[in-house]
Amino acid sequence: MYDIIIIGTGAGGSTMAYKLADSGKKILILERGGYVPVEKENWNSEEVFEKNRYTTTDLWLDKNGESFRPGMHYNVGGNTKFYGAALFRLREEDFKEIKHYGGLSPAWPIQYEDLKEYYLEAEQLFHVHGKRGSDPTEPFDAEPYPNPPLPHEPRIQEIFDELKNYGLHPFELPIGVNFTPHTAANAPYALDRFDGFPDASERKGDAHICALSKALEYPNVELMINSKVIKLNADSSGQKVTEVIIEQNGETKTLTSDIVILSAGAINSAAILLESKSEQFPNGLANTSDQVGRNYMFHQNTALIALYTEPNPTKFGKTFGINDFYHATTQYEFPLGHIQMLGKSDEHQIKADSPVAAPGFTFELMARHAVDFWMTSEDLPDPENRVTVENGQIKLSYTDNNQKGHEFLKSELIKALKASGKFESFLFKGYYFSKGMDIASPAHQNGTTKMGLDPANSVVDTYCKAHDLENLYIVDGGFFVSSGAVNPALTIAAMALRVGEHLKNTLFKI
């Protein structure tokens, strides 16, 4: 019997564990995978991107019933072990209703001010480096970033200056990286292997190193790995979750807890709830609203390789972003989205994308001249974009929306780069993060257990408690009402800190 069971060790689960660790409560954290092995293949792009060494071998279904292998990572730290650690706050406007080319982005039941102090705490926890105020769309905060911005390497500084001269407002990217590695780190420093790679040097600001490892320093906190949650059972009244059913080493086990915090990620949390059917919940646990699994969002994303006329010897280029098109402008009636730099491509990643090299270039030569960009536009909540489960297999039904603004964003970036006269050609990079930019790459997943005030059309309240149950909290990207156009990890971590403090103040009276 536990006081608290936390399911999942990603940005939500690990941060919840960190926040609740000093409560004195008996806490069990469940992770369906194990630790990412520390090995030379961690930084081998052929192993990571072409052979998918670290992604799950599970197969999911798309809306047509065709199977695919998702770019999901089931391990301690979740997908944060493989993310690029760009840690943004949602803009103040993202919490309000916004008109887009594809329709309406709805308002949240909370506002930016409700998360502001927790954003700062999350930035401190995840060692975020940045320059407050350099991003013209960033919400105001008198407190600086916990760490100074990462410096631009010479070629990146040159591009930064060229874009600034063009009339854009590039800014220092907020990146989570710790230059004092974890005491367990036993690999050399190699910041160039960042986006999409696990970091054996443990410099990356991931949930495992930044939050979970701190929680596990407390004697009342326990981690159980290789433990897949298959179902949650409610009591006879249908008021509380009383049992967590897991599969571990081929055995089925039943665990009990006073409070259950589900943080398995927007897709898997929805799947667990849908599989937890009972007489009280015939459509799945916490799903009297029929909203569990619906409104799935993961952004419109595009990776772009721009070939610079001169070689680009940069080791770590992920140091600036552009938000000139984040909001509507005089030129565009509606928002387009966000642009940021990516980690440096190598020939294996480029070859995996394109069987034909650019004219006059080999793949190796392309890699030496490549400058990499990532573009994100908001996708809009659609109840028919959803997670379901068929015969125990996850089905992800998704149809693109709000594409027009994303196409404008791509054209604006290419136009700005061409204006410098320093770029020879452009190609879109479809293989990034182990998979293409379609549903097989769910890195920014959110929206499947949306937050709301009305239990009839939402799953959780403003503190992520399930409307239908007294003791179930769902703290991962599922609570998002809209997706915004920046990476969601910091918002998930900030909400976990907020929910953790709420539990301490109300239930635990700490």
**Helical pair 11-20 and 489-506, crossing angle rounded to 10 deg:** 30
Interval 168-215: pLDDT, tens: 999 999 999 998 766 666 666 667 778 889 988 888 999 999 999 999
Interval 347-379: pLDDT, tens: 777 776 665 666 666 778 888 888 999 999 999
Please, which residues have CB within 8 angstroms of residue 357's CB and are 6 or more apart in sequence?
363, 365, 366
Helix (H) and strand (E) counts in the chain: 11, 22
pTM: 0.96
Which contiguous run of DSSP H or E holds residue 375? strand 370-377
Strand residue runs (E) in 126-236: 128-129, 171-172, 175-176, 221-224, 227-234
Pair of tokens at residue 99: 């008109």
Is residue 440 within 8 A of residue 454, CB to CB? The reply is no
Indicate the Cα dihedral angle 26, 27, 32, 35, nearest 10°: -100
d(CA 42, CA 187): 11
Which contiguous run of DSSP H or E holds residue 300? strand 300-308
Interval 4-21: pLDDT, tens: 999 999 999 999 999 999
Strands 393-397 and 386-390: antiparallel
d(CA 21, CA 215): 5
Q: Please give the pLDDT value at position 139.
A: 95
Mind giving me the DSSP string for 476-503? SGGG-SS--SS-SHHHHHHHHHHHHHHH
Q: Please give the pLDDT value at position 26.
A: 97
Tell me the sheet residues that pair with 255: 244
Pair of tokens at residue 366: 């392309």
Which contiguous run of DSSP H or E holds residue 393? strand 393-397
Is residue 376 within 8 A of residue 323, CB to CB? The reply is no
Q: Please give the pLDDT value at position 328.
A: 97
Which contiguous run of DSSP H or E holds residue 268? helix 266-275
Please, which residues have CB within 8 angstroms of residue 132's CB and are 6 or more apart in sequence?
138, 141, 143, 144, 145
Per-residue pLDDT of the chain (510 residues; tens, 9 = 90+): 999 999 999 999 999 999 999 999 999 999 999 999 999 999 888 898 888 999 999 999 999 999 999 999 999 999 999 999 999 999 999 999 999 999 999 999 999 999 999 999 999 999 999 999 999 999 999 999 999 999 999 999 999 999 999 999 999 999 999 987 666 666 666 677 788 899 888 889 999 999 999 999 999 999 999 999 999 999 999 999 999 999 999 999 999 999 999 999 999 999 999 999 998 899 999 999 999 999 999 999 988 888 888 999 998 899 999 999 999 999 999 999 999 998 887 777 777 666 566 666 677 888 888 899 999 999 999 999 999 999 999 999 999 999 999 999 999 999 999 998 988 777 775 433 323 357 788 889 999 999 999 999 999 999 999 999 999 999 999 999 999 999 999 999 999 999 999 999 998 765
**What separation in angstroms does the CA of 425 have from each of 168, 173, 310, 340?**
21, 25, 12, 19
Is residue 449 within 8 A of residue 292, CB to CB? The reply is yes
Please, which residues have CB within 8 angstroms of residue 108's CB and are 6 or more apart in sequence?
95, 96, 451, 481, 482
Pair of tokens at residue 309: 């006329």
d(CA 44, CA 196): 11
Query: How many Cβ atoms sit within 10 Å of the Cβ of residue 470?
Result: 14
d(CA 170, CA 210): 28
d(CA 179, CA 201): 10
Between the two ends of the chain, the Cα-to-Cα distance in Å is: 21
d(CA 96, CA 111): 8
d(CA 74, CA 208): 13
Length of the chain: 510
